[in-house]
Amino acid sequence: MSRKPPTDDDDELLARLGSLTAQARERAEFQRSQVELAIALQRGMLPGDMPHAPGFELAVQYAPACYGLNVGGDWYDAFTLPDGRIGLSIGDVQGHNIEAAAFMGQVRVGLRALASVTSQPGALLARTNELILSLGADLFATCTFMRLDPSTGLLESARAGHIPCVWATADGKSGITEDEGG
């Protein structure tokens, strides 16, 4: 059995296949770099340490709900307020892309900054909403803010479009927050 010599058509087909393969590889490399950038952006905006308060241990586990890109507008935060209480927030910005991650950073930082002015949960969420609206973004965010007083154990909360939170204590008690959503 003998092989026939390559024709110009065969050479053209191989050249075209090589070009398409190179383009696909470039797109895959670009997509991978976008995913790495978005993940770094999102992770860099989440808190590194939890506040400390006698008698309380705060713990978090972050697992984005998105598959594939694994980045978006989900966030949590915990910080000490000027009066010694602890502010806790959890929220979500619509979308699973770099824009959602960037907007999440704006919302999280805005909420944290406004908490130095008022930490009353409902008032804080109202002011944060005003700030978000002033930014003119097309994205939508939901949030729960809680204020914990470590000296009394009182936990107050308010929600803005977010689902109720589940809570649990070390002695096995648990429940769902009964705050009003808004």
Q: What are phi and psi of 36, to 5 degrees?
A: -60, -40
- Distance separating alpha carbons of residues 133 and 148, to the nearest angstrom: 27
Where do we find the tokens 């010599």?
5
Please give the structure tokens belonging to residue 177: 């927050």
pLDDT at residue 112 in the model: 93
| Residue 157 structural domain | 1-182
pLDDT at residue 130 in the model: 93
* CATH code where residue 150 lies: 3.60.40.10
pLDDT at residue 74 in the model: 81
- Distance separating alpha carbons of residues 33 and 111, to the nearest angstrom: 30
pLDDT at residue 174 in the model: 92
> With a threshold of 0.85, does the pTM exceed it?
no
pLDDT at residue 63 in the model: 67
pLDDT of the chain, 182 residues: tens digit per residue: 667 776 777 778 888 888 888 888 888 888 777 767 766 666 666 777 889 888 888 877 776 555 555 566 788 899 999 999 999 999 888 877 778 778 888 898 999 999 999 989 999 999 999 998 998 888 888 999 999 999 998 989 999 988 888 878 889 999 888 776 66
pLDDT at residue 39 in the model: 67
pLDDT at residue 89 in the model: 92
Amino acid at 127: R
What domain count does the chain have? 1
